[in-house]
Amino acid sequence: MRAMTFSRGLLSVLALMLPAFASAADPFAIHVIDESTGRGVPLVTLTTTNHIAHITDSAGWIAFNEPGLMEREVFFHVVSPGYAAGKDGFGYAGVRLTPKAGATVEVKVMRMNIAERLYRITGQGIYRDSELLAKPAPLPRPNFNFVMGQDSVQAVPFHGRLFWLWGDTNVAHYPLGSFHSTCAWSDLPEKGGLNPDEGVHLEYLTSEDGKLRKMMPTKEPGVVWIFGMLVVADSEGKEHLLGHYGRFKDLGKRLEHGLCEFDESQGIFVSSTLLGDEFEWQHPEGNAFRVKNDEGEFFYFSQEFAVTRVPATYNDVLNPGSYEALAWSETEQDYVWQKKLPPVTQKGEAKMLADKKLPADRALLQVQDALTGKPVAMHRSSVNWNPHRKAWIMIGSQHFAPESVLGEVWYAEAPTPSGPWTKAVKVASHPRYTFYNPRHHVLFDQQGGRIIHFEGTYTETFSGNPVPTPRYDYNQLMYRLDLDDPRLEVLRKAVK
């Protein structure tokens, strides 16, 4: 009887203690927010004095539960590309917090970038800390993903939805992932999709075994990359999804290239036209966009700049002989669209200027920092018409900036798709990191084009930084840019 009474008493004591145990296990919630918008900021690193690093998820949350550092004052260094925290008297940028189980604290950071970082689109654990803290997330499965990392995005409207394509893809089950392109679908915002300020719900194309589908499989060795993806109708009105593919041994050695088309019956891309090496530019490339002008309707292709094009018909896209390049004509003393010479480059145009073969007032590609006048060497860009600014706008990454090899992002405006691009303003910076192959999603534009969204590949590749950012590395980051930001006003005078 005594034993039973003792047991009941012990159970009663344990029952009273369980809530205390449960609350002690609850994380300390740190919410890092943009002081100007109140929105959570992704990719902010808080590091203790003994180098324990925590990185905010896409909603700006950190779930902190470090044994030995709870219920005591802790200093956190605060670092984030394009954002800054206040400094104390010794010059340390950070905050002092007292982590307590179940408690919540806000940390405000100041946005230095003009563009606002919204969220990570791809990869595992996008809302990891939000889930640990039982916070809501916009995605139906916020942390599940088929991929760990994805490179170089393209997205086009196709059959009333958005069709997405990436290059190399990292997976969870082995270091070697998919190197034959990966694709997904999403719904457009006006057709049931998420508001682009909140996220993109991707539905990946998979194979019968449930793994990611290789979108252009081949028995030959090498990786397969597809660029210049576009949708064009044939003479009977049927839509075709096309692109240019290359099979590569490595970055410097292409083994095969040609045009490819999405075969809807198989759900993969297949080669439709094999091209010889002599066709260096006579094919889709970079970011494709459609232009209608006095000459007709064309697809323009933006790599560094939009200096190649083809008539916007199915047969012309498939015919290398239909492609035109923009080149300087000494006879006409002007730039002309023609089919014999390769397209002008920024570097080539600079040499013509130096050799006085090109009048300075005819230059198209000599981009300068609008604030300092220093030249900006463009690496990759995305160009689209913007009805709000009534101009062609460019989101482009810079090559060999002082802050990073490929991490600086610029915004520019021009009166035509090919320029002249004269002044640019930096809108996002990623010091000692890479943000390449930017893509402006024009279908996500808001308020008549005043608000635009762009993304790019965030990776330590080419950066010289030996420390990849956990979860974020080799994935896509989405930014939002307000084109009425007063810091962009300097560009209005550049567009004639």
Distances (CA, A) of 300 to 292, 328, 344, 486: 10, 18, 14, 30
Q: Which residue has the tokens 């550049």?
A: 494
Residue 100's CATH number = 2.60.40.1120
Q: 64 in a domain, yes or no?
A: yes
Q: DSSP E strands: which ranges in 35-151?
A: 45-47, 53-55, 61-64, 74-79, 83-84, 94-97, 104-111, 116-120, 149-150
Q: 398 in a domain, yes or no?
A: no
Collapsing DSSP to helix, strand or coil, 322 comes out as helix
Could you give the CA distance from residue 60 to residue 120 in angstroms, rounded to a whole number?
A: 11
Digit-coded pLDDT (tens) for 379-408: 999 999 999 999 999 999 999 999 999 999
Distances (CA, A) of 34 to 83, 84, 85: 8, 10, 10
Could you give the CA distance from residue 378 to residue 400 in angstroms, rounded to a whole number?
A: 9
Asked whether 133 and 61 are in contact (CB, 8 A), the reply is yes
In terms of DSSP bridges, do strands 74-79 and 94-97 run parallel, antiparallel, or are they unpaired?
antiparallel
CA 331 to chain CA centroid, nearest Å: 42
Asked whether 293 and 355 are in contact (CB, 8 A), the reply is no
Closest CA to 215 of 160, 154, 270: 270
What's the pLDDT score for residue 11? 44
Closest CA to 48 of 28, 73, 31, 80: 73
What's the pLDDT score for residue 250? 84
Q: 162 in a domain, yes or no?
A: no
pTM of the complete model = 0.93
What's the pLDDT score for residue 3? 46
Q: The tokens of 407 are what? A: 């991490």
Neighbours of 78 (CB within 10 A): 21
Q: 104 in a domain, yes or no?
A: yes
Q: DSSP E strands: which ranges in 15-135?
A: 28-34, 45-47, 53-55, 61-64, 74-79, 83-84, 94-97, 104-111, 116-120
Query: Which DSSP category does 114 fall into?
Result: S
What's the pLDDT score for residue 92? 97
Digit-coded pLDDT (tens) for 290-309: 999 999 999 999 999 999 99
Q: 49 in a domain, yes or no?
A: yes
Q: How many domains does the chain have?
A: 1
Residues of the chain scoring pLDDT < 70: 1-24, 494-496
- As a residue count, the chain comes to 496
Q: 37 in a domain, yes or no?
A: yes
Closest CA to 75 of 55, 98, 101, 108: 98
Q: 63 in a domain, yes or no?
A: yes
For residue 91, what are the domain limits?
Answer: 22-111
Q: The tokens of 488 are what? A: 């962009």
Q: 86 in a domain, yes or no?
A: yes
Amino acid, single-letter form, for residue 29: A
Asked whether 444 and 119 are in contact (CB, 8 A), the reply is no
Closest CA to 459 of 477, 441, 475, 437: 475
Reading phi first (left if > 0) and then psi (alpha if -120 to 50, else beta), residue 68 is in: left
Asked whether 453 and 115 are in contact (CB, 8 A), the reply is no
What's the pLDDT score for residue 13? 46
Closest CA to 324 of 337, 311, 306, 341: 337
